[in-house]
Amino acid sequence: MPTLVSFGIALVLLVFLATRFSVDMGATWQTIRHTNPWLYGLAFLVHYTTFLFRGARWRMLLRNAAASETESLPSLGVSARLILMGWFASSITWFRLGDAYRAYAYCEVSGASMARSMGTILAERVMDVLLVFLLLLVGFLLLYADPELRPPKALLVMGLGLALASGLVLLAMQLFRRSVTRFLPQRIQRSYHGFHEGTMRSFRSLPPVMLMGLLGWLAEVGRLYFVVRATGLDVGIALVVFVTLASALLSAVPLSPGGLGIVEAGIVGLLMWVLPREQAVSVALLDRSISYLSVVLLGAGAFVYHQRVVARRSKSVLLSGQHPDRPGETAPS
């Protein structure tokens, strides 16, 4: 029910924007209809390389945080698929629950510690916040050099605030670790210890980890760049970078699944600096058909496949006489 309510809110917002700002849907459709399909397809392919880069990064984080050097790691393909599933979950639920679902799905097939896995995802989010802020700052400075464009400082302040808040969370975790765990029940202490180690150990071998993260974000910039090229419209690369990273910030607003309705409004508003309203709407719809709609469709397929993998694993473990949740421990008869 909460998901249906959030989709309803997003739909109302989209209808309000279309009617309030008198968008000529006929002109919008003409721009979409004349989109170059090859460049649009290239935008689609470039976007999905982000899951490979992010999958490679998460695999590094899991290796950094592993309890032992012999702990098995997911393949690059499995890591990318789990991240796609996480994005799918975040696109149909509130509050980016896809991150928690990704950790849960990984533990389902690997038997890894949920707390330690969640720690790697927190570290990943902190790195993303820092990268988004730095790339947003680059786009902001490039745009600010043009006297005709004055990007909103509110988005930059928002990015800086998130970066500082993320740093403070890590600092608090490190400084007050003993104080916090002392008041926790024994079982929760073990979980928090795993979560803390998973977070802090993830920051080892930082340069290659950050490089994969950067490539993941550049793939998203590339998606919007090729979408714009596919429409034949004139939008500078600095604005493309700024719009992409601003959209990432807006998608974190937990008012609708995947920022639906909010992100589209942000893209249109920023692109209207250089494009007529109908063309800006066309770009937003084409871009979100890849970054949102295709993720929902392909993510649903990945989810179904994952359920089959889990079912096969559970059946295999039960037939072998092991406990389904603790490999190596015999299941009760």
Does any domain span residue 39? no
Q: How high is the pLDDT of residue 314?
A: 77
Contact present, 81 and 298 (Cβ < 8 Å): no
Q: How high is the pLDDT of residue 327?
A: 47
Give CA–CA dist 209/315, Å, rounded.
Answer: 36
Phi-psi sector, 266: left (phi>0), alpha (psi -120 to 50), beta: alpha
Phi-psi sector, 191: left (phi>0), alpha (psi -120 to 50), beta: alpha
Q: How high is the pLDDT of residue 5?
A: 53
> Helix/strand/coil (H, E, C) string of the chain?
CHHHHHHHHHHHHHHHHHHHCCCCHHHHHHHHHCCCHHHHHHHHHHHHHHHHHHHHHHHHHHHHHCCCCCCCCCCHHHHHHHHHHHHHHHHHCCCCCHHHHHHHHHHHHHCCCHHHHHHHHHHHHHHHHHHHHHHHHHHHHHHHCCCCCCCCHHHHHHHHHHHHHHHHHHHHHHHCHHHHHHCCCHHHHHHHHHHHHHHHHCCCCHHHHHHHHHHHHHHHHHHHHHHHHHHCCCCCHHHHHHHHHHHHHHHCCCCCHHHCCHHHHHHHHHHCCCCCHHHHHHHHHHHHHHHHHHHHHHHHHHHHHHHHHHHHHHHHHHHHCEECCEEEEECCC
Does any domain span residue 44? no
Does any domain span residue 306? yes
Q: How high is the pLDDT of residue 177?
A: 86
Q: How high is the pLDDT of residue 95?
A: 74
Contact present, 108 and 81 (Cβ < 8 Å): no
pLDDT tens string, the chain, 333 residues long: the values are 555 555 565 566 566 556 656 777 888 889 999 999 999 999 999 999 999 999 999 999 999 998 666 677 899 999 999 999 999 999 988 777 899 999 999 998 888 889 999 999 999 999 999 999 999 999 999 888 777 777 888 889 999 999 999 999 999 999 988 887 877 888 888 889 999 999 999 999 899 999 999 999 999 999 999 999 999 999 999 999 999 999 998 887 777 788 888 898 899 989 998 999 899 999 999 999 999 999 999 999 999 999 998 888 777 767 766 555 554 444 433
> Which residue type is seen at 160?
L
Does any domain span residue 15? no
Determine what percent of the chain is predicted with pLDDT higher than 90.
58
Does any domain span residue 198? yes
Counting the structural domains of the chain, the total is: 1
Does any domain span residue 320? no
Does any domain span residue 22? no
- Which residues constitute the domain of residue 276? 50-315
